[in-house]
């Protein structure tokens, strides 16, 4: 039975005192038996608050002991967990909380003020529960109550991802698909109960959720979950926590390459079996440099929120991998089609990558039109990515049909940047596009046309963007141009903006 509850119960019975989650800041360990007990307690608490089956419970928390057990516990109890992106501004948080029909939010004292600012724009009651991220208990004793039944097709996770319209889309993921993502990860990387992963990625990203939090529950392993990624103590935490594999994105690989070799500090990293890279294409030069410096091989993969993280992966056997490719379909099926005709394309021909499998989403929340455009009745899903397969079935990604900017694994809608700039009194037109960046994979460039007779400095535009979007989404490069390139219909041709970079 493919549900979170089934696998937690299974591990709690098979190895009750085995660790599931380790919090390095406090040294606390959450065993599988305790994870089950806490999940039941959480479910009873949510029922006592008046929530019912499939109601949405949001998490606005940094990684840690509480976040890990809440992520799993909400799904175990039969509710839908909706993690909030901590990089979002108040207006974005308000949209997600409103659109998702969230009933209750868990947050910390550190983030509570920002959450309350977002809630001012919502005309319905949402219960806020402020918790200590490192505490081992957050509830008073609850009256005994039966948790609602959970079936494989029941919703488990609601993730919001940026779309080309600028409004985040709610990706609905079932228990079956969440478990499939964890299962594909476990089998592709030959993971066992003795394996332990370092969770350096935030739990508001599908990669951190499925690969580092759910996969261990499937194969009975464990996860080390610090509050945040820190390049200064990353390797020390990996070694002292006895991790056997690490899961990162190319940005983290770049940071680690610029840090001191851990062996110079007397740390033995030879027990790390492999490094898994995902969320953005890994430049071959970074791939080779990392392996040469640290002696740890990289398994490059490809995944999406809509596929519960993994859908293509390189083989576990190092000699069979191909640098520059995120690998072959594993668990799910994959193919390449002509974007116009829909016909299957042979090896070597560039087209749209398609995926079909148990890991694929149910659809977009309250958006049947976009769901119908993305999911075929026969189960095949449009990824929106362009690429080809070679004769060995390895995928090579060449670009994106969608105009998303992926900065350090974070999806950013260009239109969101456009609309922020258009709020400036001197701006007539604005268009953003992703540009190559050695550290983040992509950065943001915006081209701006000023209103006739208006004057505005670049410094003023950078300050304005920082206020509207936050530092992370503020363009690295802003250019003042006379006009924007447009097609016959008047639509801005973003790719042509790259000719100005």
**pLDDT at residue 177 in the model:** 98
**pLDDT at residue 489 in the model:** 45
Summary count for the chain: helices (H), strands (E): 15, 25
Cβ-based neighbours of 335, under 8 Å, separated by 6 or more: 344, 353, 354, 380, 389
Q: pTM of the prediction?
A: 0.85
CATH number, domain 405-500: 3.30.300.30
Q: Could you give the 3-state DSSP secondary structure of residue 241?
A: coil
**pLDDT at residue 405 in the model:** 87
Calpha distance 105→416 (Å, rounded):
25
**pLDDT at residue 460 in the model:** 96
**pLDDT at residue 487 in the model:** 60
How many Cα neighbours within 13 Å face the side chain of 425? 4
Q: Which two tokens stand for residue 47?
A: 């029922």
Radius of gyration over alpha carbons of the chain, in Å?
23
Q: Which two tokens stand for residue 467?
A: 């206020």
Cβ-based neighbours of 346, under 8 Å, separated by 6 or more: none
**pLDDT at residue 162 in the model:** 66
Contact 311, 302 (CB under 8 A): yes
Domain assignments of the chain as residue spans, ordered by start = 4-393, 405-500
**pLDDT at residue 397 in the model:** 87
Q: Which two tokens stand for residue 476?
A: 């690295």
| Segments of the chain with pLDDT less than 70 | 1, 138, 162-166, 402, 487-491, 500-501
CATH number, domain 4-393: 3.40.50.12780
**pLDDT at residue 238 in the model:** 98
């Amino acid at each position: 039975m493919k549900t979170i509850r089934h696998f937690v119960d299974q591990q709690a019975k098979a190895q009750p005192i085995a660790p599931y989650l380790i919090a390095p800041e406090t040294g606390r360990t959450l065993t599988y038996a305790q994870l089950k007990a806490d999940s039941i307690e959480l479910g009873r608490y949510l029922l006592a608050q008046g929530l019912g089956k499939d109601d949405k419970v949001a998490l606005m928390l940094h990684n840690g002991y509480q976040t890990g057990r809440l992520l799993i516990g909400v799904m175990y109890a039969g509710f839908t967990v909706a993690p909030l992106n901590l990089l979002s501004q108040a207006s974005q948080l308000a949209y997600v909380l409103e659109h998702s029909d969230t009933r209750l939010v868990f947050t910390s004292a550190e983030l509570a003020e920002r959450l309350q600012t977002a809630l001012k724009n919502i005309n319905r009651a949402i219960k806020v529960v402020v918790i200590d991220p490192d505490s081992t208990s957050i509830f008073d004793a609850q009256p005994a109550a039966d948790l609602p039944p959970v079936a494989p097709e029941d919703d488990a996770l609601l993730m919001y991802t940026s779309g080309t319209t600028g409004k985040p889309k709610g990706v609905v993921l079932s228990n079956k698909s969440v478990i499939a993502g964890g299962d594909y990860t476990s089998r592709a990387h030959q993971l066992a109960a003795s394996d332990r992963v370092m969770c350096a990625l935030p739990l508001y990203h599908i990669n951190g959720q499925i690969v580092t939090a759910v996969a261990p529950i499937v194969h009975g392993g464990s996860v080390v979950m610090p509050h945040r990624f820190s390049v200064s103590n990353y390797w020390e935490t990996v070694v002292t926590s006895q991790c056997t594999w690490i899961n990162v994105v190319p940005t983290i690989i770049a940071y680690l390459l610029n840090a001191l070799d851990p062996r110079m500090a007397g740390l033995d990293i030879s027990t790390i079996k492999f490094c898994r890279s995902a969320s953005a294409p890994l430049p071959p030069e970074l791939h080779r440099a990392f392996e040469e410096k640290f002696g740890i091989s990289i398994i490059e993969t490809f995944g999406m929120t809509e596929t519960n993280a993994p859908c293509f992966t390189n083989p576990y056997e190092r000699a069979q991998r191909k640098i520059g490719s995120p690998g072959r379909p594993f668990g799910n099926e994959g193919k390449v089609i002509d974007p116009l005709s829909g016909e299957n394309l042979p090896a070597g021909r560039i087209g749209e990558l398609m995926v079909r499998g148990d890991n694929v989403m149910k659809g977009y929340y309250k958006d049947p039109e976009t769901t119908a455009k993305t999911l075929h009745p026969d189960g095949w899903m449009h990824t929106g990515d362009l690429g080809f397969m070679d004769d060995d079935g390895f995928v090579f990604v060449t670009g994106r049909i969608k105009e998303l900017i992926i900065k350090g694994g974070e999806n950013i809608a260009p239109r969101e940047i456009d609309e922020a700039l258009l709020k400036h009194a001197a701006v007539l037109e604005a268009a953003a596009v992703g540009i190559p960046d050695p550290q983040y994979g992509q950065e943001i460039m915006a081209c701006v046309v000023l209103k006739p007779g208006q004057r505005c400095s670049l410094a003023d535009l950078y300050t304005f963007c920082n206020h509207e979007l936050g530092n992370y989404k503020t363009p690295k490069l802003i250019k003042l141009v006379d006009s924007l390139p447009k097609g016959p219909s008047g639509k801005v041709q973003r790719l042509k903006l790259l000719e100005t970079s």
